[in-house]
Amino acid sequence: MKINENFLQLKENYLFIDIAKKVNAFIKANPDAKLIRMGIGDVTLPIAPAAVEAMKKAADEMGVKETFRGYEDSGAGYDFLREAVSAYYRKLGADVSAHEIRINDGAKSDCGNITDIFSSDNTVLVTDPVYPVYVDSNIMSGRKIICADSDESNGFAAMPDKSIHADIIYLCSPNNPTGSAYTKAQLEEWVSYAIENNAVIIYDSAYEAFISDPEIPRSIYCVDGAKKCAIEMCSLSKTAGFTGMRCGYTVVPDELVMTASDGSEVSISKLWNRRQGSKFNGVSYPVQRAAEAVFTDEGQRQIQESISYYKENAKLIAETLERCNVPFTGGKNSPYIWFKCPGGMGSWEFFDKLLNEAAVVGTPGAGFGKNGEGWFRLTAFNDRENTIEAMKRLEKVIK
Q: Name which of residues 232 to 251 contact ligand PLP (CB under 6 A).
A: 235, 237, 243, 248
| Residue range at the interface with ligand PLP (CB under 6 A); choices 8-16, 90-98, 106-114, 270-278 | 106-114
Q: Residue 75 or 342: which CB sits closer to ligand PLP?
A: 75
When the beta carbons of 197 and 219 are compared against ligand PLP, the nearer one is 219
Tell me: does residue 156 bind ligand PLP (CB under 6 A). no
Q: Give the three-class secondary structure for 313.
A: helix
Q: Confirm or reject binding of residue 138 to ligand PLP (CB under 6 A).
A: no
According to the binding rule CB under 6 A, does residue 148 interact with ligand PLP? no
With CB under 6 A as the contact rule, which of the stretches 63-71, 100-108, 189-197, 374-382 interacts with ligand PLP? 100-108
> Are β-strands 36-37 and 123-128 bridged in parallel, bridged antiparallel, or unpaired?
unpaired
Percent of residues in the chain assigned helix, strand, coil, to nearest 5: 45, 15, 40
Rule CB under 6 A: is residue 107 a binding residue for ligand PLP?
A: yes
- Using the minimum distance from each CB to ligand PLP, give the nearer residue, 204 or 292: 204
Question: Residues 6 or more apart from 29 whose CB is under 8 A from it?
Answer: none
Q: What is the DSSP string of 114-157?
A: GGGGS-TT-EEEEEES--HHHHHHHHHTT-EEEEEE--GGGTT-
At its nearest, how many Å lie between ligand PLP and the CB of residue 133? 7
Residue 127 to residues 9, 161, 211, 342, 365, Cα–Cα distance (Å) = 20, 12, 20, 24, 14
Minimum CB separation from ligand PLP for residue 179, in Å? 11
Minimum distance from residue 235 beta carbon to ligand PLP (Å): 3
Determine, following the binding rule CB under 6 A, whether residue 41 of this chain makes contact with ligand PLP. yes
Nearer to ligand PLP, 205 or 302 (CB): 205
Q: Does 176 bind ligand PLP (CB under 6 A)?
A: yes
Annotate 163-200 with DSSP letters as a single string: TS--SEEEEESS-TTT-----HHHHHHHHHHHHHTT-E
DSSP per-residue codes, 64-96: STTT---S-SSSS--HHHHHHHHHHHHHHT---
- What is the size of the binding site for ligand PLP (CB under 6 A)? 13
The stretch near ligand PLP (CB under 6 A) out of 62-70, 103-111, 374-382, 391-399 is 103-111
Stretch of 17-25, 105-113, 281-289, 365-373 lying at the interface with ligand PLP (CB under 6 A)? 105-113
365 in contact with ligand PLP (CB under 6 A):
no
Stretch in the footprint of ligand PLP (CB under 6 A) among 9-17, 89-97, 104-112, 384-392: 104-112
* Bridge partner residues of 375 (DSSP): 340
Helix (H) or strand (E) run with residue 360 in it: strand 360-361
CB 384 within 8 A of CB 309: yes
Q: Which of 179, 148, 141, 152 is nearest to 162 (CA)?
A: 148
Give SS3 for 17. helix
Is position 145 an interface residue for ligand PLP (rule: CB under 6 A)?
A: no
Other Cβ atoms closer than 10 A to 215 = 10
From 102-110, 135-143, 261-269, 278-286, span contacting ligand PLP (CB under 6 A): 102-110
Q: Is 206 in the site for ligand PLP (CB under 6 A)?
A: yes
Residue 123 touching ligand PLP (CB under 6 A): no
d(Cα 230, Cα 249) in Å, to the nearest integer? 14
CA distances from 54 to 60, 83, 97, 249, 291 (A): 10, 17, 24, 19, 9
Shorter beta-carbon distance to ligand PLP: residue 206 or 321: 206
Per-residue H/E/C for 216-278: CCCCHHHCCCHHHCEEEEEECHHHHCCCCCCCEEEECCCCCEEECCCCCEEEHHHHHHHHHHH
Query: Residue 378 Cβ, how far from ligand PLP at the closest point, in Å?
Result: 15
Q: Does 172 bind ligand PLP (CB under 6 A)?
A: yes
Residue nearest to ligand PLP (CB): 106
Residue 302 in the binding site for ligand PLP (CB under 6 A): no
| 204 sits near ligand PLP (criterion: CB under 6 A) | yes
Which residues bind to ligand PLP, rule: CB under 6 A? Answer: 41, 106-108, 131, 172, 176, 204, 206, 235, 237, 243, 248
